[in-house]
Amino acid sequence: MVKEQKQVRELGEGSYVMMDDSPCKINHYSTAKPGKHGSAKARVEGRGVFDGKKRSLSQPVDAKVWVPIIDRKQGQVISVTGDDAQIMDLDTFETFTMRIPDDESLSPESEIEYLAYEGQRKIV
Instruction: Give the pLDDT confidence of 23-45 residue by residue, as tens digits.
Output: 999 999 999 988 777 789 999 99
pTM above 0.75, yes or no: yes
- Is residue 1 scored above 70 in pLDDT? no
Instruction: Give the pLDDT confidence of 70-91 residue by residue, as tens digits.
Output: 999 999 999 999 889 999 999 9
- Is residue 63 scored above 70 in pLDDT? yes
Domain range annotation of the chain: 3-68, 71-123
CA distance 122 to 31: 31
pLDDT for position 9:
92
Per CATH, domain 71-123 is 3.40.50.720: no
| pLDDT above 90: percentage of residues in the chain | 78
CA angle 106, 107, 110 (to 5 degrees): 90
CATH architecture classification, 3-68: Roll (2.30)
CA distance 86 to 94: 10
CA distance 41 to 59: 6
- Is residue 113 scored above 80 in pLDDT? yes
| pLDDT above 70: percentage of residues in the chain | 99
Lowest mean pLDDT among 59-63, 87-91, 103-107: 103-107
